[in-house]
Structure 1
Amino acid sequence: MSDTVIATHGLRKAYGAVTAVDGIDLDVRAGDVYGFLGANGSGKTTTVRMLLGLVLPTAGTVEVLGRPIPRAGREVLPRVGALIEGPAAYPHLSASANLSLMDAAGPGGARRGRGQRIAEVLDQVGLGGVGKRQVRGFSLGMRQRLGLAGALLRRPDLLVLDEPTNGLDPQGIHEIRTLLLDLNRTGTTVFLSSHLLAEIEQLATRVGVLDRGRVVLQDDLATLTAPTGATVVRTPDPARAVRELGDRVLSAEGDRLVVRGSEPAEVNAVLVGAGVPVSGLALDRPTLEDVVLAAAAGSGDRVAA
Structure 2
Amino acid sequence: MIDVSGVFYSYKKNIITLKNITKTFEQGKIYGIVGPNGAGKTTLLNVMSGVHTPGAGRILVDSYDIVNDREKSIKKIGLMPDGSFLDPDEKIINQMMHFGSYYDLSIKEARERALSLMNKFGLSEEFSRKSMRNLSLGQRRRVGLTMALLHDPDNILMDEPYNGFDPFGIKMVTDIMLEARNSGKTVIVSSHILKEVQSVADEFVYLENGQLLKSIDIETMSKNIGKIWVKVLNPDDNLLRLLQTFGTVRRINQAYEITTPSDNKVETSEINSALVKENYKVDSIYYEKRTVEDEFFSK
**Alpha-carbon separation, structure 2, partners of 1:107 and 1:186:** 20
Name the counterpart of 2:9. 13
Instruction: Please list, as runs of the form range in 1=range in 2, the aligned pairs for 1:41-60 lying within 5 A after superposition.
Output: 41-60=38-57
TM-fit CA distance, 1:276? 1.7
**Alpha-carbon separation, structure 2, partners of 1:257 and 1:241:** 16
Instruction: Please list, as runs of the form range in 1=range in 2, the aligned pairs for 1:40-119 lying within 5 A after superposition.
Output: 40-104=37-101, 106-119=102-115
**Alpha-carbon separation, structure 1, partners of 2:250 and 2:243:** 15
Equivalent residue for 1:287, pick from 283, 291, 294? 291
Instruction: Please list, as runs of the form range in 1=range in 2, the aligned pairs for 1:187-206 lying within 5 A after superposition.
Output: 187-206=184-203
The verdict on how the C-alpha distance between 1:218 and 1:154 changes in structure 2, with shifts beyond 3 A counting, is: same
Cα-to-partner distance string for 1:49-105 (whole Å, 9 max, x where unaligned):
22122322221111112221121222222221112241233344444333222212x
Instruction: Please list, as runs of the form range in 1=range in 2, the aligned pairs for 1:204-223 lying within 5 A after superposition.
Output: 204-223=201-220
Structure 1, unaligned runs of 5 or more: 298-305
The verdict on how the C-alpha distance between 1:267 and 1:207 changes in structure 2, with shifts beyond 3 A counting, is: same
**Alpha-carbon separation, structure 2, partners of 1:74 and 1:236:** 68
| One-letter amino acid of the structure 2 residue matched with residue 24 of structure 1 | I
| One-letter amino acid of the structure 1 residue matched with residue 9 of structure 2 | K
TM-fit CA distance, 1:6? 1.6
| SS of equivalent residue, structure 2 residue 57 | strand
TM-fit CA distance, 1:177? 2.1
| One-letter amino acid of the structure 1 residue matched with residue 32 of structure 2 | G
Instruction: Please list, as runs of the form range in 1=range in 2, the aligned pairs for 1:182-261 lying within 5 A after superposition.
Output: 182-228=179-225, 231-239=228-236, 242=239, 249-254=246-251, 255-258=255-258
Name the counterpart of 1:278. 283
Report the aligned-residue RMSD.
3.1
Cα-to-partner distance string for 1:210-246 (whole Å, 9 max, x where unaligned):
1111111112133234232874334454549948976
Name the counterpart of 2:140. 143
The verdict on how the C-alpha distance between 1:76 and 1:223 changes in structure 2, with shifts beyond 3 A counting, is: same
**Alpha-carbon separation, structure 2, partners of 1:132 and 1:243:** 63
**Alpha-carbon separation, structure 2, partners of 1:54 and 1:237:** 62
The verdict on how the C-alpha distance between 1:237 and 1:145 changes in structure 2, with shifts beyond 3 A counting, is: farther
Which piece of structure 1 moves more, 241-250 or 110-119? 241-250
C-alpha contact (below 8 Å) 1:84/1:162 kept by paired residues: yes
Cα-to-partner distance string for 1:119-171 (whole Å, 9 max, x where unaligned):
32113322246434413321112101100111111122110111222233344
**Alpha-carbon separation, structure 2, partners of 1:132 and 1:58:** 38
TM-fit CA distance, 1:271? 6.2
**Alpha-carbon separation, structure 2, partners of 1:154 and 1:238:** 63
Asked whether 1:165 is paired with 2:170, we answer no
C-alpha contact (below 8 Å) 2:232/2:280 kept by paired residues: no
**Alpha-carbon separation, structure 1, partners of 2:182 and 2:27:** 11
The verdict on how the C-alpha distance between 1:30 and 1:240 changes in structure 2, with shifts beyond 3 A counting, is: farther
**Alpha-carbon separation, structure 2, partners of 1:170 and 1:128:** 20
C-alpha contact (below 8 Å) 1:82/1:159 kept by paired residues: yes
